[in-house]
Structure 1
Amino acid sequence: MPEGPEIRLAADAIAQVLEQKIAERVSFSQAPMRHFGKRLTGIEVLEIETRGKAMLTHFAHGWTIYSHNQLYGVWTVAERGQIPPTGRSLRLRITTATHEALLYSASDISVWPTADLGQHPFLARIGPDILNRDLRWQDIATRLREPRFANRQLGALYLDQTFLAGLGNYLRSEILFQAGLHPNLKPAALSRGQIGQLSRITLELCWRSYHTRGITNPSSRVRKLQGKGLRGEQMRFAAFGRADLDCYRCSGVIDRIEFGTRRLYLCHNCQPEP
């Protein structure tokens, strides 16, 4: 499933062709949604917003399309009338004078009065968006200390969207590896310094992934790996997906474990079990 940085990158592409443009046609493929097409057609698109892994398409007359890609949803941008061939099911099509924004295979789409979005069952319970420009590391540190989160294992907490919206499986492994923390640890057991470090790393890695289109390794390590001839996925992560490979820090071995039914990668030397 795409994580916060990937959803924000998709939103950026959609925003380029939709924001401040008139939606000359809006169509939904699913029968219960089709009547909303007329309500949204001919209206200006004000903003494309993301909240965690959800995307919100805000229209000027006070209505919003909520969409969540789930496992299989994909947004595509094309020139008007140039819909690319694909075996996917087209769920939503927004057409401007020059472009098309196309959502394929997503199963979670709804239309809401913008003022009522706080009542949406997903949006009502999620935490702050990890790429919200107003989010500071101090805010994350405060949440880690809250009673509802402080006694949760980090391996579970860092997939919980009520803690921070947009975190996902690869970010979880990468953040905990960078912080040197075992997934079994709980925030309540961390020192003030560890809480601060974890909070800074959380924010830093999420923004790095966004700016680099999915690379969480620092630029110095990426250059070194490129010098060795590595490309693409081979140089993307420090821990995630690197089972049985050497740890970049200690030359130990990266291990893959199952945590909460999801795969998690760690170095037992750098992230000792409590």
Structure 2
Amino acid sequence: MPEGPEIWRTADALNDALQGKTISELYFAFEELKQHEPELKGMEIQKIEARGKAILTFFEDDRVMYSHNQLYGKWMVRANGAKPNTNRKLRVAIHNTDQSAYLYSATDIEMLSQEEVPAHSYIKKLGPDVLHPDTTYEDVIAQYRSDSFQNRKLTTLLLDQGFVSGIGNYLRSEIMFYAKVDPHKKLREYSDEEKEALAKATVKLTKRSYETGGITNDPSIVEALKREKAKRSEYRHFVYNRTDDRCHKCGQIIEEEKTGGRKIYFCPNCQQVD
């Protein structure tokens, strides 16, 4: 499933293609949305925003299309009405005179009013989104200090969209590594300094991933590895999906564990794992 940085980059691409432009054609696959096709044709799209792992498309009237990619959904943008070569099931198509945006395979699509957006069952439960322009570092560190989360295991908590939205499996392992914390503890077991390190890592690596197209590793390490002709998979992350490779920081072997049915990756030396 795409994580927050990927969803925000998708929203950027959709804004480039659709924002401020008049809809020339519109298609919805689901019968309950069909009524909106003729009503929205000829309107402009005001903006597209990411919310956690969902995308909101705001039309010039009061309507907002909520869509969640879930595991298999994917937006694709093409110029001049060209259609992607894919076997995926088309769910939504939005056309203007220059660009077309297609949503494939997603099953969670709804039409809301702007007033209904904050009360939506998914959106109302979201924690602060690091990439939202209104979110501050203080919002993030407040989550790490909140009594509501202290008895939660960190590895589970970081995947809870009600804690900090947009974090998924790769950011989880990368954040714990960058903060230099043992991943096996409950939040209350970390010191104030470690919680601050986690909050800073959450902000820094989420923004870095958004800005670089998914790279969380330090830029200096990335550039050095690129000069050595390393593959993207070798320089993209500190620890995620690098089992049995050497840590970029200390040379120790990266380890993996399964927790809650999903893997975490860590450096036992940098993260002081017993």
TM-score bracket relative to the smaller structure: over 0.9
| TM-score (ref. length: structure 2) | 0.96
Aligned pairs for 1:61-140 (under 5 A) are: 61-140=61-140
Shift of 1:239: 0.2
| TM-score (ref. length: structure 1) | 0.96
Partners of 1:252 and 1:79 in 2: CA distance: 47
Shift of 1:170: 0.2
Partners of 1:11 and 1:165 in 2: CA distance: 16
Partners of 2:144 and 2:186 in 1: CA distance: 9
Task: Note if contact 1:52-1:130 (Cα within 8 Å) is conserved in structure 2.
Answer: no
Task: Note if contact 2:158-2:168 (Cα within 8 Å) is conserved in structure 1.
Answer: yes
| Structure 2 unpaired stretches of 5+ | none
Partners of 1:257 and 1:190 in 2: CA distance: 20
Partners of 2:95 and 2:248 in 1: CA distance: 47
Task: Note if contact 1:137-1:196 (Cα within 8 Å) is conserved in structure 2.
Answer: no
Alignment partner of 1:236 is 2:236: yes
Partners of 1:15 and 1:103 in 2: CA distance: 14
Partners of 2:188 and 2:181 in 1: CA distance: 13
Shift of 1:64: 0.4
Task: Note if contact 1:3-1:167 (Cα within 8 Å) is conserved in structure 2.
Answer: yes
Report how many residues are paired.
274
Shift of 1:98: 1.4
Task: Note if contact 1:138-1:196 (Cα within 8 Å) is conserved in structure 2.
Answer: no
Partners of 2:174 and 2:58 in 1: CA distance: 33
Task: Note if contact 1:127-1:165 (Cα within 8 Å) is conserved in structure 2.
Answer: yes
- Identify the residue that residue 31 of structure 2 maps to in structure 1: 31
- Identify the residue that residue 184 of structure 2 maps to in structure 1: 184
Residue range with higher mean Cα deviation, 3-12 or 243-252 = 243-252
Shift of 1:84: 2.1
| Structure 1 unpaired stretches of 5+ | none
Partners of 1:119 and 1:192 in 2: CA distance: 33
- Identify the residue that residue 157 of structure 2 maps to in structure 1: 157
After superposing on structure 2, the runs of 4+ consecutive aligned residues of structure 1 that deviate more than 4 Å are none
2:7 partner SS? helix
Shift of 1:271: 1.9
Shift of 1:169: 0.3
Partners of 2:81 and 2:135 in 1: CA distance: 39
- Identify the residue that residue 47 of structure 1 maps to in structure 2: 47
**Residue type of the partner of 1:249?**
K
- 1:148-183 deviation per Cα after TM superposition (whole angstroms, max 9, x unaligned): 112211101110000011000000000101111122
C-alpha RMSD of matched pairs (Å) = 1.3
Partners of 2:242 and 2:178 in 1: CA distance: 14
- Identify the residue that residue 18 of structure 2 maps to in structure 1: 18
Alignment partner of 1:170 is 2:149: no
**Residue type of the partner of 1:22?**
T
2:22 partner SS? strand
Partners of 1:60 and 1:70 in 2: CA distance: 26
2:249 partner SS? coil
Residue range with higher mean Cα deviation, 149-158 or 212-221 = 149-158
Shift of 1:96: 0.9
Partners of 1:162 and 1:61 in 2: CA distance: 30
